Chains A and B, each alone.
Chain A
Amino acid sequence: MFIGHAALAFALVGGVAIARGWTTERTLAIAVVAGAFAALPDVDMVYALVGVASIGAGGDALALAGAFWSTGNVVHRAITHSLVLAPPVAALAALRLRNGTVGIRAVSALVATVLVVNLRMVMYSASIAPHFREIAARWKALMAYLLTDQAYALSVTRFRETDVSRRGYYLGVAAPLWVVWQLCTLVGIVVGARVPAWLPLDFALPLVFLALLVPAIEDAGTAAAGLVGGTLATLGSGLPYELGLPLGAVCGVLAGLVAEPVGRVLREVVGR
């Protein structure tokens, strides 16, 4: 399920390692650290830096951008990643060309993009926090580390409906996700670049979220939240640092609050 996501990152790391003739040890060391962070989705886009940083001094910016785009297109024509990555990588390529090293400014831009894309996790964190109140801090640290869209969406839906053990259910969802993520990451290293172009793996990611989104829409408030969130994120998809995502998310939540009383009135009218 996460193969598309992980494949991009690790095809990049793996491809670079091969192209540059890295030793097995070095490739493994990077892959292990990369694997540890792969559980934090979207950090893996930082790996693109590994790719750019490793192109020899002879490569010009166009070749660099071309290589990057073709990898992205073949492995994971993903909206999320290729879009998020392209601007900072282009900036990085330009900066590198000038002085031969990776510019701090380009790195900051990339890290900033990673953090903005992950800002939605602040909302997940706040939304799931009431359920985690009774849990010890060391467990919370582990649970925060394992927080993904899927683990969040599944858990919060279940917690709303049932009295199931919070820690048990959440870890039962999040830990296997983490393991699968790492395994698919390994698969991505090995077969990533050989994924046939006709297979639209990138489409699996929105489908997962769609499967979680549909049951989350249960009344006028949640419908308004989804409508506004989706519309604004779509309109804002050209914004720098992927700001469209948090913008849509925040406005969607506000729309939900506004629509809540409207929904109540509607229900009363219909109920009568």
Chain B
Amino acid sequence: MTAADSVVWLAVLLGGLGTFAIRGSFVFLYERLDVPELAERALRYVPAAVLAALVVPAVLTLGGTPVAETGLGPAEAARALLGSDRVLAAALAAVVAYYTEDVLATIVVGMGALLALGAL
């Protein structure tokens, strides 16, 4: 094993232990901590906030570049995004998700729409 190899293994190990600690943090600490009422209320907003923070930047891209990094002005960016296949496909998928609450149906319709729009 070379020095570079051991650095790689170290990085994998550190990344793994770190994310395990992150995942376990409150699962283990919760009963030991006196969680204030405000924090408990805040937890209700975690799914919406985090999932939106994952989805929106992934959809709002132009040619694979996140819209914030394309250097376009707000108006230009909005116009480009409105015509983009990804945004249209995601909007359609969101409608499907709303009516069906079905993950598989959402993926199938979203992917199908993106492929169809790309073929047009």
Task: Give residues in A with beta carbon < 8 Å to B.
Answer: 1, 33-34, 36-37, 40, 42-43, 46-47, 49-50, 53, 73, 77, 79-80, 82-83, 101-102, 104, 107, 110-111, 114-115, 118-130, 132-133, 137, 140-141, 143-145, 147, 149, 152-153, 156-157, 198-200, 203-217, 221-223, 225-238, 244-245, 248-257, 260
Contacts of B22 in A (CB 8 A): 115, 118-119, 121-122, 125
Give the interface size bracket for B toward A: 35 or more
Residues A230 and B53 in contact, CB atoms below 8 Å apart: yes
- Chain B residue with the shortest CB-CB distance to A53: B4
Ordered by A's residue number, 22 sampled pairs between the chains whose C-beta atoms are within 8 Å are: A49-B7, A83-B66, A121-B22, A122-B26, A123-B46, A124-B50, A127-B47, A143-B27, A152-B47, A153-B51, A207-B107, A208-B103, A210-B110, A212-B103, A223-B48, A237-B66, A238-B68, A245-B53, A249-B53, A250-B49, A252-B48, A253-B42
Contacts of A209 in B (CB 8 A): 51, 54-55, 58
Per the bound structure, the CA–CA distance linking A101 and B101 in Å amounts to 50
Q: Does B73 contact A (CB under 8 A)?
A: no
Q: Scoring B residues 34 to 69 as 1 if CB is less than 8 Å from chain A, else 0, what string do you get? A: 000011111111111111111111111100101111
Per the bound structure, the CA–CA distance linking A152 and B49 in Å amounts to 14
Q: Does B76 contact A (CB under 8 A)?
A: no
Residues B51 and A226 in contact, CB atoms below 8 Å apart: yes
User: For A145, A203, A253, A255, which residue has the most chain B Cβ atoms within 10 angstroms?
Assistant: A203
* Known A124-B50, A248-B53; contact A204-B107, beta-carbon cutoff 8 A: yes
* Known A46-B12, A147-B23; contact A234-B103, beta-carbon cutoff 8 A: no
User: For B14, B43, B54, which residue has the most chain A Cβ atoms within 10 angstroms?
Assistant: B54
- Chain B residue with the shortest CB-CB distance to A216: B47
Contacts of A114 in B (CB 8 A): 15, 18-19
Residues A107 and B26 in contact, CB atoms below 8 Å apart: no
- Chain A residue with the shortest CB-CB distance to B24: A144
Per the bound structure, the CA–CA distance linking A124 and B54 in Å amounts to 13
- Chain A residue with the shortest CB-CB distance to B98: A214
Residues A253 and B57 in contact, CB atoms below 8 Å apart: no
Nearest CB of chain A from residue B52's CB, rounded to whole Å: 4
User: For A50, A126, A206, which residue has the most chain B Cβ atoms within 10 angstroms?
Assistant: A206
Q: Scoring B residues 80 to 93 as 1 if CB is less than 8 Å from chain A, else 0, what string do you get? A: 00000010011001
A145 contacts which of B23, B39, B54, B66 (Cβ < 8 Å)?
B23
B23 contacts which of A104, A125, A229, A260 (Cβ < 8 Å)?
A125
Q: Does B72 contact A (CB under 8 A)?
A: no
Per the bound structure, the CA–CA distance linking A121 and B38 in Å amounts to 20
